[in-house]
Every structure is written in C-alpha cells, then in structure tokens.
Chains A and B, each alone.
Chain A
Amino acid sequence: GIQVEQSPPDLILQEGANSTLRCNFSDSVNNLQWFHQNPWGQLINLFYIPSGTKQNGRLSATTVATERYSLLYISSSQTTDSGVYFCAVEQFSGNTGKLIFGQGTTLQVKP
C-alpha cells in the first residue's frame, strides 16, 4: 500500500517564527488532506489539497503531485498552533477509498 512519511517528527518553535512541515507519499494520489490534532484530540481539517497551493490565514499548503510531496507552511506561529499535524492521502481499493495517515509532526510553540 501507499506509504506516507512526514518530517520532521518533532518541532519546537518560538512564538512568531515560521515553519515548514513536509509530507512525502509513495504513489500518485487523488486526495491529500492536512489535519491539526488539538490538545483535546480533535482532528481539524486544514486543507484538502490534492495539487496546487492554498492559503488560509497564516497557514498555506502546496502539493506537487508529480513529485509526490506536500508542504504545510505556518507563518508567525502562535501557541495555539501547538499540537500534532497529520498529512493523509487517499488510497483506492476497488471503487472505494480510504485515507492513509502519516505519523504526524508534533509542534510545540513556546511563548
């Protein structure tokens, strides 16, 4: 099956700093999503981005499908950005798909 690898595994930032999280995947995909898991365990959908670039406030994401990677940019980080960031790609089996998650990047933003 498809492999999803995220880097770095852990990241510590000072508030206000910028960061880039990376997601590599081993096969072509039709769907890629970035999630933020908050301290309460909820998975918050950040981007649905199978290709191209999207921006939402201080966050932006770029997926280069032909090179099988996606990047999540966090600018001017805040303590509320802390948590685990997951990349997930869709793998099809027959007519139905499922999301395959990476191991996540744990981000800690210090005040």
Chain B
Amino acid sequence: EPEVTQTPSHQVTQMGQEVILRCVPISNHLYFYWYRQILGQKVEFLVSFYNNEISEKSEIFDDQFSVERPDGSNFTLKIRSTKLEDSAMYFCASSGDGSVSYTFGSGTRLTVV
C-alpha cells in the first residue's frame, strides 16, 4: 500500500534555530497538507497545498512557517526562529483528486529546547 514518508522521525533543535521537516507524499496525489499535534491535544490543520501554491492556511500558520515543493516528489515545512511552543508532532498528509481518503505520514516529533 502506498505510504507518505516523513523525515526525520525525531528532531531536537535549539530555540531560535530554523528547522525543515520533509515529506514524500504518495506519487499520484495532488493535495498536500501539514498538521500539528501538541502533546495530549487534538490534531490541528496548518496548511494545504495544491498546484504549487498554498490553498488554505490556518491562523497558526503565520510568517514563521513556509512550505515548498522543491521538486516532483518532496514537500517541506520550514519553521524559522523556533520557539518552545513549536514543540509538537508534525504530520504530513496527501490526498488524491476529489473527496477521497487522506493518507498521513508517521510524523516528525519536534522538540525545541
């Protein structure tokens, strides 16, 4: 079964540093997403991406965040000047055309110290 792959699985970074989280969506999917889950809380939508541009972003997704699809396979989330409260599990997801199932990656656990 096709998978969404995320790297790294864990990342520890110093406050104020920049991090890049990487994702390889399912190859024939058209829509890509990033979600965040702070420990013990629900999964929250950050941003959706379609046709090489952001389709929608939540109020969490401020100027500190950016997304990019640098080539035909990777989808990245960049977090600039990380803060302690950015510590969370970050999930990448993708979906095909139409209203179909979303597939989530295994997540990147980001810890800001």
Contacts and interface: CB of A to CB of B under 8 A. Distances in A.
Interface residues of B, number: 25
Interface in A42-64: 42-43, 45, 48, 50
What does DSSP make chain A's interface, helix, strand, loop or mixed?
strand
Q: How large is the interface on A (under 10, 10 to 19, 20 to 34, 35 or more residues)?
A: 20 to 34
Contacts, number: 64
B75 interface: no
Given A48-B101, A50-B99, A96 B48 contact: yes
Contacts of B37: 41
B104 A45 contact: yes
Among A50, A88, A93, A98, the most chain B Cβ lie within 10 Å of the Cβ of: A98
Contact of B45 (A35, A40, A98): A98
Given A43-B107, A94-B55, A103 B101 contact: no
A69 interface: no
B106 A99 contact: no
Contact of B100 (A31, A42, A101, A102): A31
Contact of B91 (A31, A43, A90, A97): A43
A98 B33 contact: yes
Given A88-B43, A98-B48, A99-B45, A45 B56 contact: no
A38 to B, nearest CB: 10
Contact of A90 (B50, B89, B99): B99
B13 interface: no
Interface of A: 30-31, 33, 35, 40-43, 45, 48, 50, 86, 88, 90, 93-104
Interface of B: 31, 33, 35, 37, 42-45, 48, 50, 55-56, 89, 91, 93, 95, 99-104, 106-107, 109
13 contacts: A31-B101, A31-B102, A48-B100, A88-B43, A90-B99, A94-B55, A94-B56, A95-B50, A95-B55, A96-B50, A96-B55, A101-B43, A102-B42
